[in-house]
Each structure stands twice: as C-alpha cells, then as structure tokens.
Structure 1
Amino acid sequence: MARKLVAGAVMALAGLGASAQTPDAALLKRAEQVKPEALKLLGRMVNIDSGTFSEKGLNAVGALASAELKKLGFKVETFSAAPAAGKNIVATLNGKGKGRVLLVAHMDTVYADGTAKANPFRIEGSRAYGPGIMDDKGGIVVALYALKLLKESGFRDFARITVLLNTNEETGSHGSRELIEKTVKEHDVALNLEPGRAADGVVIARKGSGEIGMEVQGKAAHAGVAAKQGVNAAMEAAHQVIQLSELGNEEKGTTVNWTVLKSGDRSNVIPDLATAQADIRVSVPEEFDRVEQDIARISSKQLIKDAKVSIHLRRGFPPMPQSPVTDALAAKANEIYGELGRKLTLESTGGAADASLMFAAGVPTLDGLGIVGGGIHTPGEYAEIESIPPRVYLLARLIQEAGKGLQLPR
C-alpha cells in the first residue's frame, strides 16, 4: 500500500521537476564553490568515531559542529542525553521574519570505536567513503553549508532557525525524545537531514520501529553427565524464536526479524540463561498492540515447562504515514529542485528516524534532505560528491521559503 501511495505522489508531482523557474544564481554559484570546503569538514567528522555509545567521539563531533554554528551567529546550548551518551546540541538564530524552521540531524553512527582508523575517509572517483559519511554526518555538513550560504547572502527573513543535533538516533532517540518533541512544537516546519535516497529522493513516509527482548532462565547442569537435571535455556529460547518468527504481517507492512541470540559459553554445560532480540517495523501504530498481544499468547506455549520466559516489546519511533501536508512540503521542495532542472523522487522506507517524532507532534515534516549516497550501515557506506552543491542549494532555498512562511494544509 505504501508503494502505491508514494507512486501516486510521484505522478502528481512529476511536472514540478521540469519547472522552468530561474535558480538563484548567486546562491547556486556559492553552493558549487563550497564543495571542496564541505568535503574537508565532512572528512574531519567521518574520521571521528562517534558510535551511539562513544561519549568521547560524540562530544568531539558536537564540538566541531558547535564551532561552525557559532561562526554563523547561532547561540549554542547542550543538553544531557542520559541515559544515552554525549550531549545533544540545540543552536538557535533569530531573524526578522515570521517562519520558525527546525533542522534536525544526528551525530551518532552504528560503528564501533576503531572503525574510522580502519576505514578512514577517502575519495575514489565521484564518491567519498567512510563510516557515517551519509548517515548522518553528510546531513550535518549539508545543514552547516546551507546556513553559511544564507548568512553570506544576508538572508534574515525568518523568525527563528534552530539546529538540533541528536546523539542517539541509531538506538531510537530514547535520550533525546523529550527534547525533540518539545523543540519541534516551537516551530512551523521541520526538515530532517537523514540521507537523501540513492535515486536523488526525499522521504515522505517511514515505518515505526521497536525491539522485542527475550530472556529465558533455566538451570545449569553437566551436559554429558547430568543433562536431564538441567533446564536448557538455549533450547527454550530457540523454540520461542521459531514460533514467534511468524509475528509479521506482510499485508499490513509489519516485519519482525530476530537478529541477536546469546546463550552459554561452554559446550559441556547446559546453559541457564539465554537472551534474544528482534527488530520490529510497522506501518500503522495499532500493529504494535497486535504484536504485543500475540507475543503473550504464543510465548505461553513452552517447549521446556520449567524454563522461565520473559518477553517484552519496546516501542521506538512511531510510523510516519504519507499525508497531504508532507506531500505539499515535498511539492515545494520539488519546485525548488526544478530550478536546477532536477526532480526529486518521493520515497517510503522501512527505516525509522526522528522525522516520525516530529510528524507525530503535528508539525509539517520533510525527511531525507541530506547528502545522497548508499551502503548505509555497511563498510562500503558512501556519498555522491556531486550531490553536495544541489543538496546545499535545495536546503538553503527551503529554509528561505519556510522562513517567509509556507501555506501548508494542516
């Protein structure tokens, strides 16, 4: 269903990419000129390990971004991300117009400490590589340079521009959720700097996310001498994973995938503890309720009756369904891209992000405005170098239009 909705939106907006409107020549020229400088800053950020649990790395990236924001005249504040690591950053700049614009990106990556040293920033042909280069350090850099271009142009026709940099998006933003929800309600438009899609697209719909955690307690015993005296936690966990593997619902867009299983550390000992985790994605929020109910019903059927099974669903990001207000904001973005003779693709994704929190707060939200690339969450993560100028231009112009005040359906 989501693909059909997005396809319809693309058809409805197809003419906008061919817009004959003239671009802002000065803004476009500067967007093209700053590419080497932007790449240099991107390289510095990529070469800092800033996995979600890396306090030192997150604060180092935050310090680098804060220094750039202060140069642009922003007031920079930091906020605790507890229980997550690092400090969230909120930077504000007041203008003379009426539109309040929020830009959001995240500083954390999925990579462990040492990854940047083993796989540092590098350029090969038309692509730049490195951990977190597009998810989401490229988004931070696009935001910084779009704001730099606007400052150079003397643009002040906005009430407020706020930049929020999150330290723990990759694990569900549990240490930033309240800050995001409070901040977004003080704005008229939210622009999320998650990566641009490989087909030069933005995101107009996202699935919600969550995690299922399971713990099975058993009883240890010698595997060769007294196995029947034990209670095999690993066997019960395996049984539960198999019978709970059918929790998904393809028709409703719900997926449940068991991804982490742990038990025991010696082959000759019946394990007394086993744990497992699953990733859940939903297109509609009521599917969280249905899965939770099915977990309780199905997990009661145990293979080993003396094992103690505990399973819980932790809800993460809510779904961000396609909506008229998002379509209207995407249409404005496509109109701007048409100034460059380009057309954005409008996409739905199973990935979850902060855009869902902002959309759920009732604020018009557009996502996927960062750098274009691919290989997210893999050693081959890359950014398309030539996407930097048009993406910087697109964001700068969107901020201009939103700052003046957009008329969007509510």
Structure 2
Amino acid sequence: MKKVAAALAALALVHSTQAAELNKSLLARAEKAKPEVLKLLGRMVNIDSGSFNGKGLDKVGALAAAELQKLGARIETFPASPASGHNIQATFTGKGKGRILLVAHLDTVYGDGTAASRPFRIEGHRAYGPGIMDDKGGVAAAIGALKILQGYKDYAKITVLLNTNEETGSHGSRALIEKLAREHDVAFNLEPGRAADGLVVARKGSGEIELEVTGKAAHAGSASKDGKNAAQEAAHQLMQLSDLGDEDKHTTVNWTVIKSGDRSNVIPDRASMQADVRVMVAEEFDRVEHDLARLSANKMIPETRVEAHLVRGFPPMPPSPVTDALAQQAADIYAELGRKLTLESSGGAADASLIFAAGVPTLDGLGIVGGGIHTADEYAEIDSIAPRLYLLARLIQVYGKGDQLPR
C-alpha cells in the first residue's frame, strides 16, 4: 500500500503542475448521453427495490444488465443470500494493463408502494423519486460513462458490481465484493455525489447494538409487584448507555428503536432496543463492545435478564494519502471542465470501506450530484449528469493504462 501511495502521489503531483486539456469529444458524448441516462433512471426509480424486495431488485438488475450487455459486457449473477435478489457482475475485457472496479447498489430504503406513490418526475433542473440518488443514480452513471467510452479498450478489465443489499450492510455481497476487490488495481464507488459537487474521501464504520431484556409478566392493576418490568429495565439501560459515544473520537451511539409490550394493563416481560453505532477508527468498535458489556451488567431490576451485543457492519474508511492522490487526480480532471470538486468525510457507511479494507485504492461519491437521500424529497441535479459522466470516464481512461499502479 505504501508503494501504491507513493506512485499515486507522484502522479497527482504531475497532474497538479500540468493539467490535461479538455477532451471535447468525450464531453460532447457525455452531453448527448444525458437524455438516455435520465430515461434509464426514470425506469429504475419507478420500480420498488427495497432491500427485502427480491422481485423488484431482480427487475431493476435486469434493466441494468441489459444495458451493460449491449455495451459488450459478460454478465454473471450471484445469489445475495441471506439477502434478497441477485448481485450483478458485468465484465469488460480490454487490451491494456489497468483493472478497474466500479461498484453501485440496486437496493433502496423505501418500502413497497413508494414508487407508485412518488413516481419519477422532473421539476426544473431536478429529477425526483425514491432511490434516485441512493443509488440508482450511481447505477445510471456507471452505465452512462461506459457508454460514452464505447470503442475505448486501453484497460485490462473493467468490472461493474451491482449490489442488492448495501442498505442493510452488504452481508449478502461482502464475500463477492472482497474477492473482486483483490482482483483489481483501483475502485470507484458510485455512491451519490455530494450536494456541494464533491467526492467522499473518508467514511465512518457502522455497527448496531441489539439489547434484549427479559422480565416477568403480571397484571398491571392487581398484581404489578409480581411482575418484573422489562420496559422499565430497558429505560434504565437506555439512560446509562446513552454516553457510549465519544465526541473527541467522532464515535456516535444513537438509540433509535425501542419496543415493549402490546397492552397497557400487562407488565411487559420483553423489551428490545437497537442503537446505531458509527466509528472513525476500528479500535472504537472494541471499546464500545467492552463498555457495553460492563455497563449493561448494572441492572435496576436485578431479577430481569439483559443481553446486549454489538453487531459490526462496515469497517471505517479512514483518511489516507492513497485516497488523497486519487482525489487529486479527480480534481484535476474536473478542472478540465472549469469545475471544482469538494472533498468530504461522511458519517454514512458504504461498500467503499470494504474495498479499502481489502487494500485497494478507492474513491467514493462518483455518482450523480443531488440530495435529500433517504427522504421523500430525494433529488438529482440534472445538470450534474454530463460532468459526472465525463469525470468517471476520464478516471477510467487514466487508470485503465495501469502504468501508475504497481503490480
């Protein structure tokens, strides 16, 4: 990784002192491709593909696979068990040296029926719809960039991976992602472009705390003292575990789901809580896990049973000179258009972290620019489509040659 960092840093220095000229032909193709990208985006957005909707995921995947196959890709599908749907792997073979991995995901956070209630629409310079940014815009951007590169073969291999379960932690795709990462020299993750026209150069790792309390049921009116109130113990646990985060280390622990009981006249014998955990450094997972066990043993109602454990999700993608060099290259390419990239760290977790952890140089946030992710107002900036296609296509051209990355 140190050799990679040095090579990429040297390349970035060259480009910062002598920026490349605008590829007018490529930009013209990017502008021409914009209506097709919007049309494909609309078709995908109008299909429900929540993480648990296998039929919807496969339907969107089939649309994307058909487009990639038209461009000459070899298509393979892999079950995403224990998740839903099938992961799509599209492989292009060229004549150069560089091996490039493009990653996007098909699943959204929206439930069935959302596409019908909020279908794709265009208002002014923005397009709206569930999942339009996260991450169907990324899928469309990958296809669009490869379309404007038709005829370009100065790469050894380009692989497009479309994941069906990123929103739930990529547990059904992790092995495939890690395998493909090791087979490539550089990876570009097509998560949404940031609202300030930026890329993501660092991400927090994610996890989840699951806490279960078992008590004893009783009649709330006539025999409440015979019960052991699981809800009350859960409330105690929530209060004492509310400080598990560490602001100085950018670790957050937020309790988000609490469930107990279904009748007001029964002392509940069960309660459960879930918390979202985000860390900037992997060691914080160990610290949170240790403190969780130590603190949860302190019960307010001794006769209850409390079980708490941390489920680790995505690892963190910390700041790195390797990523910085990739970002500098991207910034130089964007400068060809007279545009400036912003570089951001994100509290959100993504597949880029898995690829980076596998030792592969990774740049994230290369999808279409927009905002309102995971909300009813999710939108894509239409005017960002052509510049983002150009950026991704030029990155493929630069790293497809493979000269700057050691074997």
Partner of 1:231: 228
Partner of 2:184: 187
Partner of 2:50: 51
Partner of 2:404: 407
Per-residue CA deviation, residues 87-142 of structure 1 (Å, 9 max, x unaligned), is 01111011000000000000000111111111111111111111100000000000
Structure 2 matches for 1:260-409, cutoff 5 A?
260-405=257-402, 407=404
Distance 1:245 1:14 in 2: 46
Aligned-pair identity in percent equals 72
CA shift, 1:408, in A, is: 5.3
- Do the aligned residues in 2 keep the contact of 1:239 with 1:303 (CA within 8 Å)? yes
- Do the aligned residues in 1 keep the contact of 2:185 with 2:405 (CA within 8 Å)? no
CA shift, 1:242, in A, is: 1.1
- Do the aligned residues in 2 keep the contact of 1:19 with 1:341 (CA within 8 Å)? no
- Do the aligned residues in 1 keep the contact of 2:252 with 2:277 (CA within 8 Å)? yes
CA shift, 1:59, in A, is: 0.6
Partner of 2:27: 28
CA shift, 1:319, in A, is: 0.6
Paired residue secondary structure (1:195): coil
Q: Tell whether 2:208 aligns with 1:204.
A: no
Per-residue CA deviation, residues 322-352 of structure 1 (Å, 9 max, x unaligned), is 1111111111111111110111111101010
Change in CA separation of 1:295 and 1:20 when aligned onto 2, cut-off 3 Å: closer
Change in CA separation of 1:169 and 1:110 when aligned onto 2, cut-off 3 Å: same
Partner of 1:97: 96
Structure 1 portions without partners, runs of 5+: 1-12
CA shift, 1:310, in A, is: 0.6
- Do the aligned residues in 2 keep the contact of 1:94 with 1:158 (CA within 8 Å)? yes
Per-residue CA deviation, residues 262-321 of structure 1 (Å, 9 max, x unaligned), is 111111111111111000000010000000000011001101111111101000011101
Per-residue CA deviation, residues 23-63 of structure 1 (Å, 9 max, x unaligned), is 11111001011111111110010011101111111111111
| CA RMSD in angstroms, aligned pairs only | 1.6
Distance 2:188 2:160 in 1: 10
Distance 1:162 1:226 in 2: 65
Distance 1:389 1:48 in 2: 24
CA shift, 1:19, in A, is: 7.6
Distance 2:304 2:19 in 1: 69
Structure 2 portions without partners, runs of 5+: 1-11
- Do the aligned residues in 2 keep the contact of 1:133 with 1:382 (CA within 8 Å)? yes
- Do the aligned residues in 2 keep the contact of 1:18 with 1:343 (CA within 8 Å)? no
Partner of 1:138: 137
Partner of 1:82: 81
Paired residue secondary structure (1:123): strand
Q: Tell whether 2:224 aligns with 1:243.
A: no
CA shift, 1:164, in A, is: 0.3
Distance 1:36 1:406 in 2: 35
Task: In structure 2, give the amino acid aligned to 1:296.
Answer: A
Distance 2:201 2:404 in 1: 18
Distance 1:373 1:99 in 2: 30
CA shift, 1:147, in A, is: 0.3
Partner of 2:39: 40
- Do the aligned residues in 1 keep the contact of 2:97 with 2:403 (CA within 8 Å)? no
Per-residue CA deviation, residues 346-378 of structure 1 (Å, 9 max, x unaligned), is 110101000000000000000000010001111
Paired residue secondary structure (2:242): helix
Task: In structure 1, give the amino acid aligned to 2:246.
Answer: N
Distance 1:18 1:369 in 2: 24
Q: Tell whether 2:200 aligns with 1:220.
A: no
Change in CA separation of 1:216 and 1:98 when aligned onto 2, cut-off 3 Å: same
Change in CA separation of 1:408 and 1:201 when aligned onto 2, cut-off 3 Å: farther
Distance 1:19 1:42 in 2: 36
Task: In structure 2, give the amino acid aligned to 1:352.
Answer: A
TM-score, normalised to structure 2, is: 0.95
Distance 2:197 2:384 in 1: 8
Paired residue secondary structure (1:163): strand
Per-residue CA deviation, residues 224-267 of structure 1 (Å, 9 max, x unaligned), is 11111111111111111111010000000100000001111111
Partner of 1:64: 63
Paired residue secondary structure (2:153): coil
Distance 1:230 1:388 in 2: 61
Task: In structure 2, give the amino acid aligned to 1:127.
Answer: R
Change in CA separation of 1:76 and 1:251 when aligned onto 2, cut-off 3 Å: same
Change in CA separation of 1:269 and 1:148 when aligned onto 2, cut-off 3 Å: same
Change in CA separation of 1:183 and 1:20 when aligned onto 2, cut-off 3 Å: closer
Distance 1:407 1:251 in 2: 37
CA shift, 1:21, in A, is: 3.7
CA shift, 1:22, in A, is: 2.3
TM-score, normalised to structure 1, is: 0.94
Distance 1:47 1:14 in 2: 44
Distance 2:356 2:83 in 1: 23
Paired residue secondary structure (2:135): helix
Distance 1:406 1:149 in 2: 23
Distance 1:48 1:18 in 2: 46
Paired residue secondary structure (1:158): coil
- Do the aligned residues in 2 keep the contact of 1:206 with 1:356 (CA within 8 Å)? yes
CA shift, 1:16, in A, is: 7.6
